Structure 1
Amino acid sequence: MKRREALKNIGLTIGYSAIAPSALSILQSCTTEKEKWVPLFFTQEEGLVMTKLVDLILPKTEATPGALDVNVPEFLDLYASKAYDTEAKEKYSKGIKSIIEALAIPESGAQYLKTEDYTNLLDKYLRPTNEEEILYKQEKNLVYESLLNLRDQAVWAYKTSKTIGEEVLAYDPIPTVQKGCIPIEEATGGKAWSL
């Protein structure tokens, strides 16, 4: 191994110590083709639902790839499968099942749900009025908590993907200059730094 790569790996290890140890290797291994993806943790139906929800939460735009372009659903599935302990898996699975129930999937299956069904669910729980939000929190509404968790996980997986880190966010693999007290526009063109 070259000295530069060794130093880079040490820096990555220190910088990512807050992330579960296997998260980075899991993230790097999520390069499957969508047609070939077989969920490990999710059921096929849950995988389909998670894919649709994540696509609506982080859609592709003209300027940026979407969550599906960087395999966020595959990462979430693999992460739950490999990094969660039994208790966390049960809690996560219970939350996913609550989302499935809230969607009222027809007997014919999730593939027959329309985009509006997913949009209505996301609008109801991720864009609530102040009164609804207070009520969801007081009731400890599982669908609300699960969708918030899904959104947070999807954003985390999206921002830590290699494509987003190197092509969308401000990226400097070997930072050498420290410039203090300058506007973010001047420093990075207004972009957040990639980890």
Structure 2
Amino acid sequence: MDRRDAVKSVAIMMGGVLTASTMSVMLNSCNTSMKEGKGIDFTDDEKGMVNRMTDVIIPKTDTPGAVDAGVPAFIIMMMQECYPDKDQQQFHAGLAAFDKLCKGRYKGNFLKLSPDKQETAVADLDKMVLGKNSLPDKNLAFYRHLKELTLLGFFTSEPGATETLRYVQIPGRYDGCVPYKKGEKAWAT
């Protein structure tokens, strides 16, 4: 199986949680004509924001969280190596816009807020960008990519697939109609 087929399979397995733009970036990243090398570097504060925001999106509970699965590093790698410069610039501008929003609304930089206020800020951002009455703010649209990459990175990681979902290394025969009992984990394989 080549990378393109693997990416398509992952998207199907995840039930279509990826938007067309993220899927397009992933498939285009298979194109060898794209420039080699790293994209726009993340500052320490930007890395900290990505780290904390992914932790809020998928926190550690009795199962590993996004940080435990290495999702922040995955997001940075995907942004730098797979996304075009324009999308990278929008992502960095979005982080700055979100930090500015936090200063105005919560009276401090995102990283300096208490954990409770950070969780509230991310929840409010989620509603603003992805909610039913979402506002079309292009500066905050970066959050859509952040959340998609968080889900992709987590559920395709070893801890996400093996400890959060049900996983059988060699699943055996295909059974298209598996009964579901309330409270069971979803299948990774």
TM-score under structure 2 normalisation? 0.68
Unaligned runs of 5+ in 1: 1-9, 24-39
Report SS of the residue matched to 1:183. Answer: coil
How far, CA to CA, are the matches of 2:157 and 2:48 in structure 1? 21
Deviation at residue 177 of structure 1 after TM alignment: 1.1
Residue 97 (1) aligns with residue 96 (2): yes
2:172 to 166, 169, 176: 176
Preserved CA contact (<8 Å) 2:100 2:109: no
1:15 to 6, 31, 34: 6
Compare CA radii of gyration and give the structure with the larger one.
1
Structure 2 match to 1:193: 187
Output the amino acid matched with 1:114: S
Preserved CA contact (<8 Å) 2:94 2:140: no
How far, CA to CA, are the matches of 1:70 and 1:158 in structure 2? 6
Output the amino acid matched with 1:87: K
How far, CA to CA, are the matches of 1:11 and 1:169 in structure 2? 25
In the superposition, relative to structure 1, how do residues 172 and 15 fare at CA in structure 2: closer, same or farther (>3 Å)? Answer: farther
Output the amino acid matched with 1:191: K
Total equivalences in the alignment? 161
TM-score under structure 1 normalisation? 0.66
In the TM superposition, what whole-angstrom CA distance separates every residue of 1:31-75 from its partner, at most 9, and x where no partner exists? xxxxxxxxx73210111112111111111112x101111111111
Unaligned runs of 5+ in 2: 12-22, 30-39
How far, CA to CA, are the matches of 1:22 and 1:194 in structure 2? 25
Query: Hey, which of these two has a bigger chunk of helix by percent?
Result: 1
Residue 54 (1) aligns with residue 51 (2): no
How far, CA to CA, are the matches of 1:167 and 1:123 in structure 2? 25
Structure 1 match to 2:157: 161
